[in-house]
Amino acid sequence: MTTTSVDVLVLCEGAARTYGDGSTATVALQPTDCLIAPRDRVALIGPSGSGKSTLLHLMAGLDDPTVGTVSWPGIGQRDSLRPGPVAVIFQGPSLLAPLTVEENVALPLILGGSADRPAHSAAREALARLELAELADKLPEEISGGQAQRVAVARALAGEPSLILADEPTGQLDRANGAIVVDVLLAAAAHAGAALVVSTHDPTVAERLPDVWEIHSGRLTTTRPKEAAWSR
Ligand SMILES: Nc1ncnc2c1ncn2[C@@H]1O[C@H](COP(=O)(O)OP(=O)(O)OP(=O)(O)O)[C@@H](O)[C@H]1O
Ligand SMILES: [Mg+2]
């Protein structure tokens, strides 16, 4: 079956990213063609510094390619991406220090136009799904790094996104908790009918996802090439 453009959530066409310029320039991502369609499940694997976060940030609309384009045909213009249909789970700490765990999870919903009460209700539900309900009133400084990473997952899932971009969501977790987070991501993606992209160093995480994309020195290859998948 041919994928039509409206079926494509995010489309990278010759998208490349270089940091800096002149003799100090770093080519983080070579020109890249790829797409994510609804319900895709992709593991993005590659060594440290290979360009995983760079590619995910472009797909999230958090950063611009220096060459080429990134678009979201099935979602809308870049302005409408956040908070809303594209949820990002960042590699590093991302909770706001003055807010409680529950407030952190509710905040994107409130910024997206939800009233306080339903936003907090959705936040509590998302925290419960990650078995974090007892942390709701704690501040980020009062919880562990691994717990904070799971709260960031809850925050991403509370908004019922159509595209979930998770940057090493299990990086700070032991194997058992990493497996729980992958379970939750897969279940949430299935529940919301969302596509899921997970960057990871962990082969046990990658093997849970049906598509594996490999990136080396900023060059993306896929084990199931999709370059020709969209209609021309
Ligand atoms: N803001 C920046 N300024 C300059 N160089 C950067 C910047 N961000 C990333 N880089 C460089 O771009 C390359 C790709 O980085 P990126 O963070 O995408 O890698 P990664 O695959 O996510 O690595 P990791 O597994 O360690 O998270 C690396 O060489 C990195 O040093
Ligand atoms: Mg990274």
- What is the per-residue pLDDT across 175-199, written as a single tens digit (0 to 9) for each? 888 888 898 899 889 988 899 999 9
Helix (H) or strand (E) holding 55: helix 52-59
C-alpha of residue 203 to centroid of ligand 1, in Å? 20
Span 133-140, mean pLDDT? 98
Task: Record the pTM.
Answer: 0.89
Q: Rounded distance, CA 164 to CA 192, Å?
A: 10
Q: Which two tokens stand for residue 26?
A: 């770093």
The whole-number pLDDT of residue 4 equals 60
pLDDT bin (cut points 50, 70, 90) of residue 18 is: very high
Span 33-50, mean pLDDT? 94
Residue nearest to atom 30 of ligand 1 (CA): 49
How many CB atoms sit inside 10 A of residue 97's CB? Answer: 9
pLDDT of 223 higher than 60: no
The full set of domains in the chain, from first to last, is 5-229 (3.40.50.300)
Q: Among residues of the chain, what percentage have pLDDT more than 90? A: 62
Helix (H) or strand (E) holding 13: strand 10-19
Task: Select the more confidently predicted residue: 145 or 164.
Answer: 164
pLDDT bin (cut points 50, 70, 90) of residue 230 is: very low
Q: Rounded distance, CA 214 to CA 185, Å?
A: 20
The tally of CA atoms less than 13 A away on the side-chain side of residue 121 is 5
pLDDT of 228 higher than 50: no
Mean pLDDT rounded to a whole number for the chain: 89
pLDDT bin (cut points 50, 70, 90) of residue 231 is: very low
Span 75-79, mean pLDDT? 80
Q: Rounded distance, CA 188 to CA 161, Å?
A: 9
Ligand 1, pocket-test mutation among 53, 62, 165, most atoms within 8 A of CB: 53
The whole-number pLDDT of residue 176 equals 86
- Ligand (nearest to CA of 215): 1
The whole-number pLDDT of residue 22 equals 86
